[in-house]
Structure 1
Amino acid sequence: MSLSLFIKYIHLFALGLLGCYLLRYYGDLNPVLASVLCGLLFSFLPFQSFIKSTKGQGAIYAGTFAAMSSSRVLNSINDFVLVCILGGLILTLFEGRFEGLGGRKGMIAFLAVAAFYMYRSVL
């Protein structure tokens, strides 16, 4: 597991999560439209080559999928940080796995939010 890849995934997951969250709650858009607009925006802006790669864009989309969860689940900055760390960890651990299968990014977002939700419900 590469630490630099893990940190990049955390940042890109956070970028997608916060972008979609802001569009969803402050732009008053439905979750799907907010996710699509966020992904579209980040795919057209000029960024470094890693973000323009499919790995980087996939991490951003996984973050937007995590932002589709209810505001009752993610309602503080600590929640966002923990979900981004979990999302980055899961993206790093599943690197190169499930190739050719659809729904990987949605599954990763689901696992990150579900793990956070279980953690929070235990505490």
Structure 2
Amino acid sequence: MKTLGLFYISKLITFYAGFYGCFILHHAFAVPVVVSAATVGLLGSFIPYTSRFKRHPQAAVYAGAFAGMCSQDIIQTQSEIITVSLVGALIYTLLRNVFVGIGGKLGAIAFTAVASVVLVKGLIL
């Protein structure tokens, strides 16, 4: 259980870093969204990893970068960014051994995280 908690925390931090990095590059510095995601993904590939987590931290940064490609009209506040990161890291942790080697998993995680926060936000407001 302790290992699963550490795995989730590492995914949360790296997913948030990828999301926030891409989001800020695109919205604050007017870098094209695809270039923002690619830059963040490239920088994330240099994160050192242990054999315990394999390459999951790098993948979580890239999944976060995919989520960070969303419009500023959809995700507007820091609390929404944190919520998307919490949901994205949770989904990533739950699916870590599912769909191994299947393309599109990181994008699907990012889409599901953003869509679920937007859905809940729409239901509450």
Q: What TM-score do you get using the length of structure 1 for normalisation? A: 0.91
* Structure with greater contact order relative to length (CA < 8 Å, sep ≥ 6): 1
1:18-33 maps to which residues of 2 (within 5 A)? 18-33=20-35
| Counterpart residue type for residue 63 of structure 1 | G
Equivalent-residue separation in structure 2 for 1:88 and 1:41 (angstroms):
19
| Counterpart residue type for residue 69 of structure 1 | C
1:65 is aligned to: 66
Alignment size in residue pairs: 120
| Counterpart residue type for residue 36 of structure 1 | A
C-alpha distance after superposition, 1:73-109 (max 9, x if no partner):
1110110110000001000000110012101000000
Equivalent-residue separation in structure 2 for 1:116 and 1:87 (angstroms):
10
Equivalent-residue separation in structure 2 for 1:111 and 1:28 (angstroms):
25
Equivalent-residue separation in structure 1 for 2:28 and 2:122 (angstroms):
27
C-alpha distance after superposition, 1:39-95 (max 9, x if no partner):
112223xx4424x94211110000000011110111101101100000010000001
- Correspondent of 1:12 among 14, 23, 39: 14
Equivalent-residue separation in structure 2 for 1:76 and 1:16 (angstroms):
16
Q: Is the CA contact (8 Å cut-off) linking 2:14 and 2:61 kept in structure 1?
A: yes
Root-mean-square deviation (CA, aligned residues, Å) is 1.5
Indicate whether 1:38 and 2:40 are aligned.
Answer: yes
* Structure 1 residues without counterparts, runs of 5 or longer: none
1:83 is aligned to: 84
2:49 is aligned to: 49
Q: Is the CA contact (8 Å cut-off) linking 2:15 and 2:61 kept in structure 1?
A: yes
* Structure 2 residues without counterparts, runs of 5 or longer: none
SS at 1:49 equivalent: coil
